[in-house]
A and B are shown apart, each in its own frame.
Chain A
Amino acid sequence: MSNLLDLLVAGLATGAIYAIVAVGFTLLWQTSQTINFAQGEFVMLPAFLMLAVMHAGAPFWLAIIIGILLSMLLLGLGFKMLLVDPMLRHGVLPLAIATMALAIGIKEAVKQFFSAEASPFPSIVPAGDLSIFGRVVSLQSLGVLVLAILAVVGLTALLNRTSLGHQMQAVAQNPTVARIIGIPVERMILLTFLINAFLVALASLLITPIYLAKFSSGEVLGQAAFIAAIVGGFNQVRGAIAGGLLIGVVDNLAAAYISTQYRAAVPMILLVVVILFRPQGLLGRPEERTV
């Protein structure tokens, strides 16, 4: 039983990261039908940007700020203007394939210009353990969980409580109508790309101390976030959050109680079951069949 609690906390901490990444994923899909296969690499890159700034002599806090800004510039603005905008009108698939190529490009660039080696990355949460009701929980997991929850709460508040958020949601639901009622659709779409870039930079900051900065570390993460988004519901932010947490927990429980050799299979089976019985995802709303 106590064992189970440990596993749940660890699973939630990992799941919270998946959730942040998956939220960005669904935002891009909703506002601009972009399936970003490079999302995992988007999480991997900011850590290296921050490391590069630190190598140049900047302190960690400054490196974080510059890293996040650079990430918003490259992975937000740059990604949208250079890749998404020219390709969007040609449909979902060519764009998705282009993001696959982008994923290869980012990985190779990091390997070539930084290193093929993994590097340690400083943690913004102090190392150490916390004793809660006799359970030892690492401050790092706890910090990750708290920050992830804060990010998600903040984002939900932005989307649901502010006029900006309402406009973004309108764009996501029906861009044509949104344009007719005078919402600056283009600017709203750009905003979602910037938010995604911010979220991946945040995820990068949270996860790299644990995952280590390595060119290949985005592969697992991107796939997990993709699965989380489908399971939770591709068209709902809260769906992606639930999906992320669920995948994190299920993965841990599967490894502990089912089979370590087949641990990766369990989230996949969950995915198939969800699709068959609740195709819109656990918390998603049914999409009209587009033909």
Chain B
Amino acid sequence: MKPFGLAAILFAALAAGTAFAQSSGPIKLADVAELSGGGATVGNNWKNGIDLAVEEINAKGGILGRKIEVTHADSQSNPGVARAQVQKALDSEPYVLLGPGYSGSVKVTAPLVAEAGITQIMGGEAAELTQAGNKFLFRTSFGQQSSMPKVAKYINDEVKAKSVAVVWVNNDFGRGGRDVITKEFGGYGIKVAADISTEAGQADFAADVSKIKAANPDAVFIYLNEEESARILKELKRQGVTAPLIGETTLVGQKVIELAGDAANGARGHVGLTTDAPVELIKQFRDKFSKKYNYVPDHNGIKGYLAIYMIKATTEKMGKVDPKAFADTLHGLTIKAADEPGILMDVTFDQNGDIDRQGFLVEVVEGKQVVKQVLPKLH
């Protein structure tokens, strides 16, 4: 009987120990992001956003009086490595898992994280991610299923285009956006005049633009990463394409304007998160970020920052650090910027982990993003 008693005591001590670990000491977060490889720009922005938010919160005493501690792991922009790193992160039992940013990497890791009963706040934008019934997965930005219909509506209602050339980058991000918007176009009876796939990192867009010219569309929809957007804008200008150029955050962002110069003028797009939004809190965030890292972040920087403040708001709502109840609390939660300035704009999370937030339709005018229309929050 004796050994059994000893074991029971040991076991109880162990259990108490783990329970104890949950209720004091720093709150442990684990981030897995694209710190090297093709997605390094995405991942490093995300990481910097996270670090900035953590620093701010810790300087003010942490969450519920506990400091935050975040570890960053590199997925090398490879889903296989992402899976390994997430596995490792889960073994250390984090409060919440952050990342990854690439939709493919999210897809391969989300089942693991859900199985461990831990909440995952990620940067992926592919439509399908939140449609698989995963109860632990949350976005930090609009998924393509909510942003693309807005763009398609704009092209139909405002631009009144009947034929559109679609240019997309051939990775999961670009392909996903292209698939959703092509379907939307079908609904409006808009013809896809040219369907042009490009490579990530492509430098020479002469052939692609000459194809657009040959198709002579009423409008061009461009869905590329920032750098490629800048290059194609330059080439479109050079070849004298006059059709309206419409895109998403990645076409009209600050980075694109900086890289493309005056070739970016006239480009329009729907923007979910932009450092140029006419929102005082976002301007402050942008200043803090560029002061710390010496560059202006893209939307991935904001996403990382928001992820941390989502955790703060949710935890304070619960009044305790409880990884099990976290996801349930965040579902259906509305966080107001008035209560939690770090969230930057009022936001609501639905039962799928999708977000509802204000959006913007912007146009680049003389090298500046000008907000033409504010798309209100749905609920």
Contact = CB atoms under 8 A, between A and B. Distances in A.
Given A118-B41, A120-B258, A220 B203 contact: yes
A173 interface: no
A290 interface: no
B214 interface: yes
B373 to A, nearest CB: 29
B210 A256 contact: yes
A212 B258 contact: no
B227 A6 contact: no
B198 A212 contact: no
B179 interface: no
Contact of A111 (B40, B208, B226): B40
B210 A7 contact: yes
Interface string A1-24: 001001100110010000000000
B206 A6 contact: yes
Interface residues of B, number: 34
A261 B170 contact: yes
Given A3-B213, A136-B238, A256-B210, A116 B40 contact: yes
A252 B239 contact: no
Contacts of B44: 111, 116-117
Given A6-B239, A118-B41, A136-B238, A255 B201 contact: no
Given A3-B213, A220-B203, A138 B238 contact: yes
Nearest to B196: A260
Given A117-B295, A256-B211, A260-B198, A136 B240 contact: yes
* From B170, B201, B238, residue with most partner A Cβ within 10 Å: B238
Contacts of B240: 136
A79 interface: no
B56 interface: no
Interface string B180-211: 00000000000000001111011110111011
A115 B36 contact: no
Contacts of A7: 206-207, 210
Interface string A236-272: 0000000000000001111110001101100000000
Interface in B139-183: 170
A212 B202 CA distance: 11
B281 interface: no
Interface in B272-307: 295
B331 interface: no
B259 interface: yes
B61 interface: no
Interface residues of A, number: 37
B357 interface: no
Interface string A104-121: 000010010001111010
Nearest to A111: B40
B346 to A, nearest CB: 30
Contacts of B41: 116-118
A217 B258 CA distance: 18
A129 interface: yes
Contacts of A211: 203
A216 B261 CA distance: 22
Interface string B15-56: 000000000000000000000101011011000000000000
B208 A260 contact: yes
Given A115-B295, A116-B44, A216-B40, A252 B196 contact: no
Given A120-B258, A136-B239, A260-B208, A216 B203 contact: no
B199 A263 contact: yes
Nearest to A2: B210
Contacts of A226: none
A291 B100 CA distance: 50
Contacts of B206: 6-7, 10-11, 252
A120 B231 CA distance: 11
A216 B204 contact: no
Given A129-B238, A138-B238, A217-B201, A252 B207 contact: yes
B336 interface: no
A117 B255 contact: yes
- Chain B CB within 10 Å, residue with most, of A108, A219, A256: A256
Interface centre among B38, B197, B226, by most chain A C-beta atoms within 10 angstroms, is B197
Nearest to B225: A118
21 contacts: A3-B213, A10-B207, A14-B203, A117-B44, A117-B295, A118-B227, A118-B259, A120-B259, A120-B261, A210-B203, A210-B231, A211-B203, A212-B259, A215-B40, A220-B202, A252-B204, A252-B206, A255-B207, A260-B196, A260-B211, A261-B170
Given A6-B239, A111-B36, A264-B199, 18 more contacts: A11-B206, A116-B41, A118-B255, A120-B258, A120-B259, A120-B261, A136-B240, A138-B238, A210-B203, A210-B231, A212-B259, A220-B201, A220-B202, A260-B198, A260-B207, A260-B211, A261-B197, A263-B207
10 closest Cβ pairs, A-B complex = A10-B206, A255-B207, A256-B207, A116-B44, A116-B40, A211-B203, A252-B207, A118-B227, A260-B197, A261-B197
Interface of B: 36, 38, 40-41, 43-44, 170, 196-199, 201-204, 206-208, 210-211, 213-214, 226-227, 230-231, 238-240, 255, 258-259, 261, 295
